[in-house]
Amino acid sequence: MDEHAEGTSLSDLSVVGVRVELPSQQPIVLLKEVDGDRYLPIWIGAVEATAIAFAQQGVVTARPMTHDLMRDLLEAFERPLRTVTITALREGVFYAELGFDGGAVVSARPSDAIALALRTGASIRGDEAVLAEAGIAIPDEQEDEVEKFREFLDNITPEDFEKPGS
């Protein structure tokens, strides 16, 4: 756990994966506290769900997708992304920040930030206040359900995020 600039504590998070929430067909990305038992579900858009799934599955497209372009720009300008922090939850909307060398910070949607972090190797962190409000604790004895979710993620394809008829 780290201290955030404003003095709040941060927890390292890992990306479990993405899935489509039924019956709404709304994609979510599921993050897990690295040194804890809380999970953080964040509802995201279909395009961002695909971008995250591609990064996790190592899919390389013929032409760079937006998040690949962002990664390439950061490399070209030698401004590595160091951290992605889920900073706030206000009125049902999650907020994130991209942290760069030298202390530069840029506001971002969590879905874009996560997609970029997966492409650059940046660490993903969550503010304790966000985890306290929106995190879901799943004790070890319920890890079986999480394992079923991981199996689901292993078998899902980016095409599963396309809306019917599109």
Q: pLDDT exceeding 70 applies to what percent of the chain?
A: 80
Any domain includes 106 = yes
> What is the chain's mean pLDDT, rounded?
88
Q: Which residues pair with 33 in a beta bridge?
A: 13
Any domain includes 122 = yes
Tokens for 37?
Answer: 């038992």
Q: What is the mean pLDDT of residues 107-122?
A: 97
Any domain includes 161 = no
In the chain, how many domains are there?
A: 1
The verdict on pTM exceeding 0.85 is no
With cut-offs at 50, 70 and 90, classify the pLDDT of residue 54.
very high
Any domain includes 152 = yes
The b/e string for 61-74 (b: 16+ C-beta within 10 A; e otherwise) is eeeebebbebbeeb
Provide the pLDDT for residue 145: 66
Give rounded-to-5 percent helix, strand, coil for the chain: 40, 35, 25
pLDDT at 57 over 80: yes
pLDDT at 3 over 60: no
Residue-range definition of the domain harbouring residue 125? 2-156
* DSSP helix/strand/coil, 107: strand
pLDDT tens for each residue of 66-88? 999 999 999 999 999 999 999 99
Nearest Cα residue to 82 out of 112, 118, 120, 115: 120
Any domain includes 163 = no
pLDDT at 16 over 90: yes
With cut-offs at 50, 70 and 90, classify the pLDDT of residue 113.
very high
CATH code, 112: 3.10.690.10
Tokens for 58?
Answer: 């190592």
Any domain includes 166 = no
Nearest Cα residue to 117 out of 128, 129, 106, 102: 106
